[in-house]
Chains A and B, each alone.
Chain A
Amino acid sequence: MKLVKNILSMSLVVLLSSCEKFLEVNPKESISDAVTIVDRTSAETAIRGVYSALASGDYYGTSFQSIGYLSGDNIQWTGSQSQVQEFINKKVNADNATISSAWVAIYRTINRANNVITKVANVTDPQLTQALKNQYIGEAYFIRALAYFDLARTWGGVPLITVPTVNPTDNVGLKRSTQAETYAQVLKDLEAAEPLLPATTDRFRATRKTVWALRARYHLYQKEWAKAEEYASKVITDVTNYRLLKPFSAFFANDARGTAESIFEIFYNGTTEVNSHRGQWQPQTNGGTRQWAPNDALVALLNDPTVGGNRSTLVAKDNQNRWYGNLYYRNPASDPSYIIRIAELYLIRAEALAQQSKLNEALVDLNLVRDRAGIAPSTAATKDNVLLAIENERRVEFALEPHRWFDIVRTGRANTVFGVTDANRLLLPIPVQQLLSDKSLEQNPGY
């Protein structure tokens, strides 16, 4: 038997060489990962790939965003998938499919950013000027900062990965950092991005001003009120480029995109880049499933002329008299995903000012947002009341955007507002599949 095997393998050696070429088949839709970012074109396309990850359906395309608003108190669920109900009930299980896909998508974005940060610096192509290099690397730092920010506020401390994965053994077995360490990484990346990026205005890609806007939010979450105020002001003062548009619907209705309201929004062309949000919100007559819909409380708030004002355009009725959310409505699905609007910066500054007990200045910012919605100025007088007014304003201003849950968690009011008594529920569980495939990960307490 051995002899036969030997003879066979010997004759095979001869034949092998001619077969070698036959057995060499390479794809046409993809390229080898051995040669990826080598010149200006590949650097340029690689940074777009990072934005594409940010835009994906599991990140800002739908899933991650949905965690932010479903977990609040504005949305009801009409479908059958319990993963949605878990957010609404504030009882998210570790096997929830949405948190799993969001986790995967965020880290995919980080890996793409890491590729750009690591590889673009080493490219030698005269076409790729230092300014372009800085821009691309700066954008990658910004996106990585946003990704770690989202991870930190959703799950707490996470594994910090800053180099690209090239082999299956890379970046495996890293333990979770603390939430503070994760936030520190966010700040580090934002600080790295700021000088690299130009101070231009681009609402679809990161610039220095986008970094300022995210820093304002970052410092707000860190309760660094003066810093939050400072960075919010940096953007707010740029009134030529950023201002509150009237009416409220001006930033999204009638296929608007990239308006002066927007600091950073994600672009979708509707064909190769699809924002699948509309499918969840729109009723059947518009080709959606209306799986999640504004609840009675939100409908009442938005339709109250003294609370919602002209923000009532966020909801509409279908042919069976049911309310549906109408922020994402375009067909083909090219609705932008709104990440930072100028209204948020006014409200960030209002909150930061109020926290510093500068109540009058705080009310000025708050009332600008109220005025734009067509409602009367706030009558709040005490610090607590102003803060509550801001909180309530954010609820309706960002009714269908992913803020409510994170706002209530960061202000420590989840028990008061949502009735969440178990503090462990304020961080979501690490997806169970991740715990299974990575023994070094530890679950959050209480899950």
Chain B
Amino acid sequence: MKGRLLTWVFMISIPIFTIAQTTPTINATLSGKIIDQRTKETLIGATVLIKGTTNGGTTDAEGEFFLKTGQKFPFTLVVSYIGYEPKETIITESNITIELDPDSKQLSEVVVVGYGSLERKNLIGSIAKIDPSETKTIQAGSFDAQLQGKVSGVQISSSTGVPGEVINIRVRGATSINADNDPLYVIDGVFINNNSLQTIGTGGKATSPISDLNPNDIESIEVLKDAEATALYGSRGANGVILISTKRGNFEQKPKVNFNASFGQAKATKLWELTTGPEHAQLVNEWWINTGKDTPSLNRTFANRPFRPVSEGGRGLPEEQQTYDRLGELFRTAKLANYDLSLTGGTKSTKYYIGGGFNNQEAIIKPITFQRASFKVNLDQKVNDNVQVGVSNTFTRTYRNQARAGDGPAGGLLQAALHTPTYLSPVNEQGVLVGRAGFDNLTLLLDNYNVNSTSLRYIGNLYADVQLLPNLKFRSSWGIDYNNYNESEYWNNLLISGSPNGLATSSITQFTTWLNEQTLQYRKKIGSQHSLGILVGNTLQSDLQTRTYAEGRGFANNQFTQISSAATTAGSQSWSKSNLASFFGKIDYAFDNKYLLDFSVRADGSSRFGNNRKWGYFPSVGVAWRAKQESFLRDVNWLSDLKIRSSVGITGNQNGIGDFASQGLWTGGASYQGNAGIAPQQLGNADLQWERTRQFNIGIDASIIESRIGFELNYYNKYTSNGLLQLALPAATGFSGYWSNAAEISNKGFEFVLNTVNIRKGSLSWTTSFNVAQNINKIEKLPNPLRYGSRDLILLQEGTPLYSFWVYKELGVSPETGNVIYDDVNKDGQITVADRQILGSIWPKFFGGLTNNFTYKGFDASLFFSFQYGNKIYNHNRFFGEGGGARDAARVILASNNDRWQKPGDITDTPRPDGVNVNNYRDGGSRWLEDGSFLRLRSLNLGYTLPKNTTKKVGIETLRVYLAGTNLWLLTKYTGLDPESSASSSQNQQGIDLGTPPQPLGVQVGINLSF
């Protein structure tokens, strides 16, 4: 290994040695060493040159150089090295050490943009670049979940502690009600599917197709936010675009092997506090007697209270009740293991990346697991000087043991463990395990759960680049995203879903996208001041989703689990397809490196829209002024860079609506007596068209004091019109609604990013990166208010933000009566639907992240916080669990209910127990709407890289060991387990916490090795 490296150094040095042959007389000999200013590591292969001569050399494996020269001291030595600022030093003596500063990254960073890449300094649009190596140790199933708090203006809510489930990503707010609000994901040029293919019910949750990607294969992630950046993806750009570039080799690079392994554990830091059996019984008795006082005809008295001595026909006195712990049986310390192995390299005409990965994560609740095995091959081949072809291939198998961790009774883990009253024994009088309160028995559930899914995914791209003329490049590419999603369930007869004789289901969903794209790119410098680029292209895309489903009921016994052995079977099939044709073009122009201007337009035709309105046109224009390049600023030394940029444009959205949304249809599924029947299915709308989002962005990028402090400020204003909506019709028409373009939504806000180099002294460095963003969302136009979520907790109506909570406002508990005082909005003396009001929404007032990185010699550390302020969350567990005894044996009572009002004069938020929903325990009461603000120590990493000198001796280039912690600390007022919880993956039902496993605290150790 070492030998080969020397050869390399030698090869690079040849030209310099050849030049350095002419030295007639020697007046001085000079030896020295070149090191990194920060890390003090020696730099191998750095070039030294005596200024004004051709005399020079390179540093050797020890970072040392030796020169003989005819010059006399003092003279000027020029030192340069890739990735470092060149340095001129006046030399007065030999044996010197010269320190080189690393290039300030911000200025030369290359950013991937739509159909190309740019240096950051020439960027007009608003694009954030994330280095995935910073986040990949965060314990989560998918790379997008790891990005929380890293990108300003991008709100990421994990909403669950189950790895690999759908998370909610919103780039600059949400623009649509019934179309998708998710960004477009493009991986190596392929528009990949990010809609869950899950069909089995897991209580409102769904698996994320993004978790099929191995974070370790990703080289860089770019988030495109404004119209200038996304316009080339016109039809799909309204919610932002996430560009993922996977790792590739380099030409003429020696083979390099990378190996990572990490092992970890995770657990919940907090569980729900429940009443004990005696406390539960006490509350039930109290409720019983209270309701008897309120309604004497019920004949409920102390004498016939439910928990009275068994001898009197009761269930025993409260103090005689047992307490059974079920949560402890469900939650566990979860294990995690991750391995990645890759090989990169290249010859003169070939470069390659081959990677494999395996990830195994347990959820903190039994029996859920997530397992991903992935394999990646990227290959690029130069055919000749003008032609290059290449492929990208990702193969993944994701296997999940799934379980219902959300809403709904049958099979619900949290229902069985959390919502079952603690005083009820898991066994009946005969000692047989029984489910209580309408839920499954937890032990039976954990022993017999058999729900799993396997996702096989292939994402591939094949391209050919042809340099037609020196300035003209043609590219054609074909892409495929194929996903085979295979689910099966088996419910034996011990479980509710399987009663009486077992139920098995099997479902195979296949999703295929194929994509063909041609681009023609022209780039030319005209004179010394003008630079012009032109891009034209087209895309054809086709998405096909099919599903085959079978189920069997009635098995001879629990040994038979396959549908083929069931007494009765049934099956079904579905097919859905959409096509998209697009044409796009972009012209960019730069004058004197100071003024940048570009204009782009994309035309998209979608098969989903009405015959009259299939095509949509999406233009954008952007300008930027690199003020620092002006002569009057060029010499202002404290200002390192200053750029002002602005753009305006229109992008579209069609995702999330049905493939045939614009067509009037009749279905064939309306059978009767087992014979086929037909019936109206949906009304057509030939004018159904693209949802359009107009976005204006103005931003400033600046850095000062040798780029040690850099900041970026953006203001944006998005306005979505023609919003895709299932517009409600009076049901008397026979239809509940039809697809139309009826909604208008606005999002505006600020984003601020600050990057500082706090210390860069010797081998010590400390850098900080802070981002914060604000988004103000508002429904500008909506014909009828829409209600979503359990108990209509979420209301969408004109003039308020999307996902606002619609509740009965509680003014407190009367100390005299113990009853809740509700806000009687219309003053009619009674509390009705008309008194529900909007009290907050899921939108934070601001959110962001703070990262601190430290390095000292071989040590590195990073500390990353994410935060969110001002959002609300509905703690639905409390609605169920604070029933004040009224739900008796049907539901658990949370310990918080112990604080109820008991006698006049009691000051408390928890009212006197009475009938459910009659008064004090009304659905949608505001006391369960809580502040969801939080500050979270998302990750803490400590690493140590062994000195190169040591590891090189055994042929290892880098060896780093690390310790990583995830979610180590949480500051929040939320009384539930996790302020990011959401019971549903559905976009219009966020912010309702019901039986959601929290994001766990995780710790892992790992090793990175390359040679």
Contact B787 A22 (CB under 8 A): no
Contact B440 A80 (CB under 8 A): no
How many angstroms from the CA of A170 to the CA of B664 in the assembled complex? 14
| Complex interface: stretch among A107-115, A303-311, A339-347 | A107-115
How many angstroms from the CA of A434 to the CA of B791 in the assembled complex? 17
- Specify which of B678, B683, B685 is in contact with A46 (CB 8 Å cutoff): B678
Contact B605 A78 (CB under 8 A): no
- Specify which of B680, B728, B784 is in contact with A115 (CB 8 Å cutoff): B680
Contact B671 A48 (CB under 8 A): yes
Contact A320 B434 (CB under 8 A): yes
- Specify which of A23, A170, A433 is in contact with B579 (CB 8 Å cutoff): A23
Contact A80 B891 (CB under 8 A): yes
Decide: A434 near B731, CB < 8 A? Known: A5-B601, A51-B677: yes
How many angstroms from the CA of A200 to the CA of B178 in the assembled complex? 49
Q: What is the distance, in angstroms, from A86's C-beta to the closest C-beta of chain B?
A: 8
Which residue of chain B lies nearest to A52 when distances are taken between CB atoms in the complex? B670
How many angstroms from the CA of A95 to the CA of B501 in the assembled complex? 38
Contact B917 A82 (CB under 8 A): yes
Contacts of A434 in B (CB 8 A): 730-732
Contacts of A23 in B (CB 8 A): 579, 581, 605-607, 614
How many angstroms from the CA of A159 to the CA of B619 in the assembled complex? 47
Quick check: is A29 within 8 A (CB to CB) of the other chain? yes
Decide: A89 near B918, CB < 8 A? Known: A25-B579, A284-B438, A287-B496: yes
List A residues 315-355 near B (Cβ within 8 Å). Answer: 319-320, 331-332
How many angstroms from the CA of A161 to the CA of B684 in the assembled complex? 20
Render A1-20 as a binary contact track against B, CB cut-off 8 A, 1 for contact. Answer: 10011001101100110010
Contact A19 B684 (CB under 8 A): no
Contact A432 B728 (CB under 8 A): no
Quick check: is A178 within 8 A (CB to CB) of the other chain? no
Quick check: is A368 within 8 A (CB to CB) of the other chain? no
Quick check: is A192 within 8 A (CB to CB) of the other chain? no
How many angstroms from the CA of A107 to the CA of B668 in the assembled complex? 19
Chain B interface: which size bin? Answer: 35 or more
Contact B734 A165 (CB under 8 A): yes
Contact B673 A204 (CB under 8 A): yes
Quick check: is B675 within 8 A (CB to CB) of the other chain? yes
Interface centre among B568, B674, B677, B735 (most CB of A within 10 A): B677
Render A38-78 as a binary contact track against B, CB cut-off 8 A, 1 for contact. Answer: 00001001111111110100000000000000000000001
Contacts of B833 in A (CB 8 A): 93-95, 432
Quick check: is B916 within 8 A (CB to CB) of the other chain? yes
Quick check: is A27 within 8 A (CB to CB) of the other chain? yes
- Specify which of A26, A31, A433 is in contact with B666 (CB 8 Å cutoff): A31
Q: What is the distance, in angstroms, from A204's C-beta to the closest C-beta of chain B?
A: 6
- Specify which of B438, B676, B685, B890 is in contact with A45 (CB 8 Å cutoff): B676
| Complex interface: stretch among A121-129, A239-247, A269-277, A371-379 | A269-277
Render B737-757 as a binary contact track against A, CB cut-off 8 A, 1 for contact. Answer: 110100000000000000000
Decide: A30 near B660, CB < 8 A? Known: A24-B607, A269-B674, A320-B434: yes
Contact B568 A12 (CB under 8 A): no
Interface centre among B621, B660, B734, B922 (most CB of A within 10 A): B734
Contacts of A15 in B (CB 8 A): 583
Q: What is the distance, in angstroms, from B496's C-beta to the closest C-beta of chain A?
A: 5
| Complex interface: stretch among B57-65, B109-117, B569-577 | B569-577
Quick check: is A209 within 8 A (CB to CB) of the other chain? no
Q: What is the distance, in angstroms, from A276's C-beta to the closest C-beta of chain B?
A: 13
- Specify which of B432, B540, B727, B917 is in contact with A22 (CB 8 Å cutoff): B540
How many angstroms from the CA of A158 to the CA of B196 in the assembled complex? 41
Quick check: is B632 within 8 A (CB to CB) of the other chain? no
Contact B665 A30 (CB under 8 A): yes
Which residue of chain A lies nearest to B609 when distances are taken between CB atoms in the complex? A23
Decide: A331 near B553, CB < 8 A? Known: A29-B575, A82-B923: yes
How many angstroms from the CA of A170 to the CA of B497 in the assembled complex? 43
Contact B438 A32 (CB under 8 A): no
Contact A287 B792 (CB under 8 A): no
Contact B787 A433 (CB under 8 A): yes
Quick check: is B832 within 8 A (CB to CB) of the other chain? yes
Contact A112 B680 (CB under 8 A): yes
How many angstroms from the CA of A165 to the CA of B734 in the assembled complex? 7
How many angstroms from the CA of A286 to the CA of B617 in the assembled complex? 57
Q: What is the distance, in angstroms, from B795's C-beta to the closest C-beta of chain A?
A: 11
List B residues 640-673 near A (Cβ within 8 Å). Answer: 659-660, 663-673
Contact A104 B438 (CB under 8 A): no
Quick check: is A291 within 8 A (CB to CB) of the other chain? yes
Decide: A110 near B605, CB < 8 A? Known: A32-B663, A51-B677, A319-B434: no
Quick check: is B908 within 8 A (CB to CB) of the other chain? no
Q: What is the distance, in angstroms, from B889's C-beta to the closest C-beta of chain A?
A: 8
Quick check: is A167 within 8 A (CB to CB) of the other chain? yes
How many angstroms from the CA of A205 to the CA of B432 in the assembled complex? 46
Quick check: is B95 within 8 A (CB to CB) of the other chain? no
Q: What is the distance, in angstroms, from B106's C-beta to the closest C-beta of chain A?
A: 33
- Specify which of A25, A174, A204 is in contact with B732 (CB 8 Å cutoff): A174
Quick check: is A254 within 8 A (CB to CB) of the other chain? no
Quick check: is B880 within 8 A (CB to CB) of the other chain? yes
Contacts of A111 in B (CB 8 A): 680, 733-735
- Specify which of B583, B614, B660, B728 is in contact with A27 (CB 8 Å cutoff): B660
Quick check: is A301 within 8 A (CB to CB) of the other chain? no
Quick check: is A285 within 8 A (CB to CB) of the other chain? yes
Quick check: is B599 within 8 A (CB to CB) of the other chain? yes
Contact B729 A168 (CB under 8 A): yes
- Specify which of B440, B660, B678, B787 is in contact with A284 (CB 8 Å cutoff): B440
Quick check: is A199 within 8 A (CB to CB) of the other chain? no
Contact B733 A161 (CB under 8 A): yes
Q: What is the distance, in angstroms, from B936's C-beta to the closest C-beta of chain A?
A: 31
Contact B730 A22 (CB under 8 A): no
How many angstroms from the CA of A80 to the CA of B891 in the assembled complex? 8
How many angstroms from the CA of A110 to the CA of B731 in the assembled complex? 11
Which residue of chain A lies nearest to B918 when distances are taken between CB atoms in the complex? A89
Contacts of A86 in B (CB 8 A): 917
Contact B434 A52 (CB under 8 A): no
Quick check: is B961 within 8 A (CB to CB) of the other chain? no
Contact B674 A273 (CB under 8 A): yes
| Complex interface: stretch among A219-227, A380-388, A436-444 | A436-444
Interface centre among B568, B664, B670, B738 (most CB of A within 10 A): B670
How many angstroms from the CA of A176 to the CA of B657 in the assembled complex? 33
Contact B500 A93 (CB under 8 A): no
- Specify which of A32, A51, A89, A438 is in contact with B664 (CB 8 Å cutoff): A32
Quick check: is A195 within 8 A (CB to CB) of the other chain? no
How many angstroms from the CA of A289 to the CA of B410 in the assembled complex? 8
Contacts of B440 in A (CB 8 A): 284
Contact A28 B916 (CB under 8 A): no
- Specify which of A19, A47, A173, A204 is in contact with B605 (CB 8 Å cutoff): A19
Contact A31 B891 (CB under 8 A): no
Quick check: is B585 within 8 A (CB to CB) of the other chain? yes
Which residue of chain B lies nearest to A37 when distances are taken between CB atoms in the complex? B678
Contacts of A267 in B (CB 8 A): 672-674
- Specify which of B409, B500, B673, B737 is in contact with A48 (CB 8 Å cutoff): B673
How many angstroms from the CA of A267 to the CA of B497 in the assembled complex? 23
Contacts of B922 in A (CB 8 A): 82
Contact A22 B729 (CB under 8 A): no
Contacts of B923 in A (CB 8 A): 82
Which residue of chain A lies nearest to B608 when distances are taken between CB atoms in the complex? A25
How many angstroms from the CA of A173 to the CA of B500 in the assembled complex? 49
- Specify which of B660, B678, B732, B733 is in contact with A26 (CB 8 Å cutoff): B660
Contacts of A24 in B (CB 8 A): 607
* Beyond A33-B666, A284-B440, 14 additional pairs, beta carbon < 8 A: A8-B601, A9-B603, A26-B660, A29-B575, A31-B678, A46-B678, A52-B677, A52-B679, A78-B438, A79-B438, A170-B733, A272-B669, A432-B833, A436-B784
Q: List 23 A-B pairs, Cβ < 8 Å.
A: A25-B660, A27-B576, A28-B575, A33-B665, A45-B677, A46-B678, A48-B671, A49-B670, A49-B677, A49-B679, A50-B679, A79-B438, A80-B890, A108-B735, A114-B734, A267-B672, A273-B671, A287-B497, A331-B500, A433-B787, A437-B729, A437-B737, A438-B730
